[in-house]
Each structure stands twice: as C-alpha cells, then as structure tokens.
Structure 1
Amino acid sequence: MAKGCLIVCDGNNGAGKSSVIRAIEEFLTARNHPVVITREPGGTRIGEKIREVVLDPETPELCDTTELLLFAAARAQHLKEKIIPAIAAGKVVVCDRFTPATVAFQHYGRGIALDLVRSINGFALEGFAPDLNIILDVDPEIGMKRVASRGQGLDRMERQKLEFLSRARDGFLRQAEEAPDTFVVIDASEPFDVVSGNVLAVVANLLTEKGIG
C-alpha cells in the first residue's frame, strides 16, 4: 500500500483555513484519494479536551509555559493515535494548524525562546515532519474582521491584541523563508476562487512528487 502524507494549512485567524481545507478535501475525494481531515489542538478525544482548555476565553490565567506544553501534549497524542496510522494506511491527512502555529504564536507571539519551543515540539514529534505546510497569509486586521463577521464569540487566541497577531504573522512568514522546500505562502487576501486555485495547484504538485494517486 502506498504511503500517505501530511498537508498542513496554517496562518493567522481569519485567513480562510476551513474553507481551503474543504476545497482540498473535495479535490482529493474527486480523485479517489483517501483523505483524513483533522485539526490542532484536537483531532482525538484527548486532544479535543485539551483544546477546550487552551481556547477557553474564561481561562485568562493560563500561563505561556502551560499553553506551550498543552499544545505539545495534544500534538503527541494526535500523531500517535491518528496522523501516523492514517499515513501508514496510505491516506492523505489534511490538518488545520500544526507546528508552524506553535512557533509563530508561542515564540514570535509570546516570546518564548525559540530553542525551547523547537525542543518541546521535537519531543512531541519524535522526528516526524509534515510533507507540506501551506501558510495562508492575510493582514491580521483583515483576518479579525472576517472572524468578527461570523457572528460567533471569540476564543482565547482570537482575543489577543493585533500586535500579538502581527508578530505571529511575521513568524509564519519567517518559517516559510527558512524552509522553502516544505513551506508555501498563499496570499489569502485574494478572492476565494483565486486562493483555492493556488492551493490546489500546490497540493497537486505534492501528490505528483510523492507519486500518490
């Protein structure tokens, strides 16, 4: 059985990750690729419980170190229970957020030392790495206007100040600059048909490179 792969969709809130992931799922399904859609933090029963704590707006006392460790704990469970088995079964896993978000939010946003963030991430990953990180880039102010337009309450991370979100955006872009072989930045301020078209072209190229399908 052919080995699968992991595609990550990441970027600031309001960049359109959910819509893009649906487009990727439809694209893969139409080509008979077995696909698993998941998210971080979450993706497993334990991970979803951790998500409730990390994103709960009623937990403002959650310190930066605890936040980092909780994200890593959810990721370790996610990998072992869901992502690695799916890839081994030949499935394409598409994940809403992954390690780029931890580096962007916890290092660039929170200011936790990069070596520490990478060390904790590395402990959770045990040598695993995504095949492709798609960064949907949008100005945080535009992104948060999109989030607000949904008419839903903001979670704990969405309630951060624009200055924090701007630092996180810089973090996403910096990671992409440093690892162009596995990162692709997509301008998420474009109309959705343009954004999704650009994303699907990148996904199709990855599948070709991996010999999937």
Structure 2
Amino acid sequence: MSEPQTKAGDGAARLRGKLITLEGGEGAGKSTQIGHLLGRLGAAGIEAIATREPGGSEGAEILRKILLSGVVKPLGPAAEAILFAAARIDHIDNTIEPALRAGKWVVSDRFSDSTRAYQGGAGEIDPRVLNGLERVALGDLRPDLTLILDLPAEEGLRRAARRRAPGETLDRFEGEDLRFHESLRASFLAIAAADAGRCVVINASAPEAEVADAIWRVASERLIAAPAEQEYGA
C-alpha cells in the first residue's frame, strides 16, 4: 500500500518526485505522448520513468494479462475494479513509490481515473465502492498532474484499429461497442471538470506535434516553471 507523500527528513535527501498520469479512451495516443514528454523532461534535467496500468510491476503485469484477456468480464465491473485495485497496489509499492522517493518523476499511462471511467462511468459501479478501493490502493498518493487526452470515440477506435498488427485480437475493452466508448469519453471529461486543479484536457485530435507541445506547456507551467529556480537551478 502506498505511503504518505512526505519528503525525507534529512536536508541532504532528494526532493520527492512528481507523478504525472495520462488518461483517455482507446487510441488517444497516450504511449506516444509519454515518449515525447519523457524526452523533454530529460532535456530539462529531470530524471523520469514511464510506466503503465494495468501493469508496471511484476505482479501487476500478471493481473494485466488476466484483465485484458476478458476472462473476468463475466464476473462484472465490480470484480474487475477489485483486480485493478490489486494491480495498482503492487504497482505503487514496487514501482511508483520507490521512484518518487528517489526523486524521480513518474509518468503513467493510465491510473486510478481509468477505473473511475471504465468501471465507474461505463460500468456504473456505485461511487462509494470506487472511493473505498481508492482509499485502500492509493493511501495518500495522488497524481500531481493528470492529462486527459480527449478525442471522439469513433476516431479513437479507428486509430486503435490501425495500430493493431494483422491477426491481433481485440483486448477486453477495445472490443466494447461505440456506446461504451462514448460513455468513457463523457466520464473522463466529467472527472476533469470535477477536479480542474489536477486535471487538464488536451485535444488529442490535433497533430501529434501540437499535442506534445500542449502537454509540455501544461507540465512546464504547473510543475516546472514555478519551482524551477529552487529545485532544478533553472
């Protein structure tokens, strides 16, 4: 389980890293944009790692295979949400928290907002259940910035289809109908509206370079520009 976001006590210790999460529907380009963001963070002198959900740690990757295979689908969204939470605990304990404590920034392809959108919004799970799972899985950990890559569901599904290799089967969620994916988009936008201090919506329909520029502008303004002189000597 995650630990509170506190800095180490002695003055020589590194400052705690930042957690950035990218969210959005299928085909939004999250993994591509994470590559661009890590490159720019590195150029700015910030050590950062990329990770993903479900997955990102040895135990969570095992659960990823189970979840995306669809074998849990017959048990319903609540069962899926519980397994996602279990994977998230392992991911936080073994990948995210160690990196943050070491002063590294973590950029994750999906995090807890995906559970709220996929199982909560589209799956219609009672928010009280999701709140309880978040308390158990996240503890005091919250993303410092969440970027929601938004585009029409139809466009996202077309993109996802183009990137699949010949003969590759659809995963558990790509195989859902258009109505499901439109509900996902609405859920992500509702999450962003409810937590504007943490979330920023990015127009993912724009060209790749423009999306990368928009992401970097937000990350710079919110997490780098203000503390840069103090923390990174910029």
Per-residue deviation, 1:208: 2.5
TM-score w.r.t. the length of structure 1 is 0.96
1:15–1:138: 8 Å Cα contact kept in structure 2? yes
Match of 2:193 in 1: 177
Match of 1:141 in 2: 154
Question: How big is the alpha-carbon RMSD for the aligned residues of Structure 1 and Structure 2?
Answer: 1.3
Q: Partners in 2 of 1:207 and 1:50 — Cα distance?
A: 34
Match of 1:161 in 2: 177
Return closer, same or farther for 1:33/1:16 CA change in 2, 3 Å cut-off.
same
SS where residue 61 of structure 1 aligns? Answer: helix
Letter in 2 for 1:111: E
Per-residue deviation, 1:83: 0.6
Q: Which aligned pairs between 1:5-44 and structure 2 lie closer than 5 A?
A: 5-44=18-57
Q: Does the alignment pair 1:200 with 2:213?
A: no
1:57–1:154: 8 Å Cα contact kept in structure 2? no
Per-residue deviation, 1:60: 4.5
SS where residue 225 of structure 2 aligns? Answer: helix
Letter in 2 for 1:53: I
Match of 1:49 in 2: 62
Match of 2:133 in 1: 120
Q: Deviations over 1:21-59 (max 9, x none)?
A: 000011111122111110011010000000000001465
Greater than 3 Å deviation, 4+ residue runs: 57-60, 209-212
- Identity rate, percent: 36
Match of 1:4 in 2: 17
Q: Does the alignment pair 1:96 with 2:109?
A: yes
Q: Partners in 2 of 1:174 and 1:198 — Cα distance?
A: 20
1:103–1:118: 8 Å Cα contact kept in structure 2? no
**Bigger radius of gyration among the two:** 2
Return closer, same or farther for 1:124/1:210 CA change in 2, 3 Å cut-off.
farther
Give aligned pairs, total: 213
Q: Does the alignment pair 1:105 with 2:121?
A: no
Return closer, same or farther for 1:159/1:132 CA change in 2, 3 Å cut-off.
same
SS where residue 49 of structure 2 aligns? Answer: strand
Q: Please list every run of 5 or more consecutive structure 2 residues that lacks an aligned counterpart in the other structure.
A: 1-13
TM-score w.r.t. the length of structure 2 is 0.87
SS where residue 133 of structure 1 aligns? Answer: strand
